[in-house]
Structure 1
């Protein structure tokens, strides 16, 4: 589905929900039932617009500590404010410093942390995470990181939007981590700093690269390691023409993704996790990972599926 047509469908759906319908409109909406469901969960147009902004050339790849990285950070903070996400700490940022593994330089990063208090278990937290940094500029080429991980960053904000009308039972930390591309530094700092005690964290749900897949497949990693989370996947009602696959956890012969993103530091501390992501595509860590390659229909379905898993986890986690 081309982006322009996708927006036309959204307009038709939103017109239907707000102003009634004509027979012609009804026919068009019935052919896009899955997308209609998504619109009721979160603003799909805003989901895409956030990815588009974060992957602009002017942000120069959002590398930690650069001007573009700072612009991305302020943008994420403003989005948290827009959707009523309260700061977890004194303000939205959690500054940290670290030494680069290769150049031994000292870098300054900052996680962006918000919280939505749970209705039934406010003392227990589900950490919902994605990283807002990317690779920056290399050899004069901008690595925009639209899928990696502007897609995940926008997705967790969409989920926060969903929580406004569907309050979670557990408290939820909305964590936009920095310096993932430099060795999972932001997530590692969050865990090591005891931002929340390990006893308070029920689990981590991490999203990294959820915006495109030609086979309509999204992987969820972690259920083979934390079998108590498997019921959240079993019998799940998924969007049409969409597959949620398990694996890549080091136990199935496939490449292990257990420490490939910000869920890794949680796993090291034996905090249960689920990681949602697609298999590497041709633009992974390339300057061609641009907004134009995001697949709007798949992306909306992916976020919808993660919300469905979250809902089951929120019911069963203690």
Structure 2
């Protein structure tokens, strides 16, 4: 009798251990993604450049390999916009993957922009490439592994994964997606945006947006309890100027349409929008932990939002 109890306990422990282990992304691929997307060869991934095309093709290849569905030809939503800075019309291209829900018709939209600012004035060391490792190869890498996770572990809600272009030129890709969304906007339960999630000296990751969506805070607190990095709230209070992140990244396009959002990101660091935002300066363990923390939050949202 005692042997049976011990065997049962060992079996249940092995199941719980497997479940806990399985609720994580592939950390090696995560690091591989950010290394490639922020490499010098991609020259800062500026919208409208050959190197931006290279980044997009990499993202498409990874999504296709994951087995994810799409709602667009070759995963691509093309859009055009007038760039005052460039003085011409530019073509941007979002990359869209879709995982149908098993229960709900509502959609959780997960976004991260893959473009950055390209090449600029060289530093004293001769570095002219704005690699954008944290901003936002990090969010894009996380998006790829979250998409793969939910292909392998089908969610209750449908999930649309959008690697967005043209963020650095005024949230152009996000605005294009919202303007021509493949479903009624009313079907969107939540936008989760990731932008700059690979480093923070204090071990902190922010979830901005709970001021406007206070019902989401307790869900995030529950999902993040006991996990690293420390999940903090704020940077969403109206009237606080640049400290208010509500429209600072692609979630702003969803906010403007009245769609609930949570923006995961870190506070600005010394390499923000500088040539030194390179792969060598990310914190790999922080990045892995942050991505798995976001996964935990998405999993909890997928459960709890069904009750609304």
TM range (shorter): 0.7 to 0.9
* Residues 1:277 and 1:237: Cα distance change in structure 2 (over 3 Å): closer
Aligned twin of 1:33: none
* 2:88 is equivalent to residue 105 of structure 1: yes
Matches within 5 A, 1:250-269: 250-251=237-238, 255-269=243-257
Deviation at 1:163, TM superposition (A): 1.4
| CA spacing shift, 1:52–1:126, aligned 2, 3 Å | same
Provide the residue aligned with 2:121 in structure 1.
139
Task: Determine if contact 1:99/1:105 at 8 Å carries over to the other structure.
Answer: yes
Aligned to 1:124: 106
Q: Deviations over 1:224-273 (max 9, x none)?
A: 10122123113334455520000000259580000000000000000000
Kept in 1: contact 2:228–2:290 (CA 8 A)? no
Instruction: State whether residues 180 and 262 of structure 1, in contact with CA within 8 Å, keep that contact through their aligned partners in structure 2.
Output: yes
Cα distance in structure 1, aligned partners of 2:271 and 2:65: 31
Pairwise CA RMSD: 1.9
What's the counterpart of residue 92 of structure 1?
Answer: 75
Residue 49 of structure 2, aligned match among 66, 69, 75: 66
Where do 5+ consecutive residues of structure 1 fail to align? 1-35
- CA positional deviation for 1:74: 0.3
Structure 2 equivalent of residue 26 of structure 1: none
The more displaced of 189-198 and 141-150 is 189-198
Q: Is 1:158 matched with 2:145? A: yes
Provide the residue aligned with 1:290 in structure 2.
278
Alpha-carbon displacement from aligned partner over 1:190-244 (angstroms, at most 9, x marks no partner):
1112333211111100000000111110000111101221231133344555200
Residues 312 and 237 (structure 1 numbering): CA distance in 2 closer, same or farther, change over 3 Å? same
Partner of 2:10: none
TM-fit CA distance, 1:317: 1.8
> Is the 1:129–1:207 contact (alpha carbons within 8 Å) kept by the matching residues of 2?
yes
For 1:194 and 1:116, the matched residues in 2 are separated by 15
Structure 2: any 5+ residue segments left out of the alignment?
Answer: 1-18, 123-127
Alpha-carbon distance, 1:85 to partner: 1.4
2:85 match: secondary structure:
coil
Question: What CA distance in whole angstroms lies between the structure 2 residues aligned with 1:131 and 1:143?
Answer: 15
Deviation at 1:165, TM superposition (A): 3.4
Inter-partner Cα distance in structure 2 for 1:268 and 1:98: 19
Indicate if the aligned counterparts of 2:92 and 2:173 stay in contact, CA closer than 8 A.
yes
205-214 or 219-228: bigger deviation: 219-228
In structure 2, distance between residues paired with 1:311 and 1:240: 14
Displacement of 1:115 in angstroms is 0.2
In 1, Cα distance between the equivalents of 2:247 and 2:181? 20
Q: Show the counterpart of 1:169.
A: 156
The answer as to whether partners of 2:228 and 2:289 remain within 8 angstroms in 1 is no
Normalising by structure 1, report the TM-score: 0.85
Counterpart among 178, 182, 188 of residue 195 in structure 1: 182
Q: Deviations over 1:61-111 (max 9, x none)?
A: 000010100000000000101111111223300000101133331101100
Distance in 2, Cα, partners of 1:144 & 1:69: 12
Number of residue pairs the alignment of both structures matches: 283
Cα distance between partner residues in 2 of 1:209 and 1:233: 19
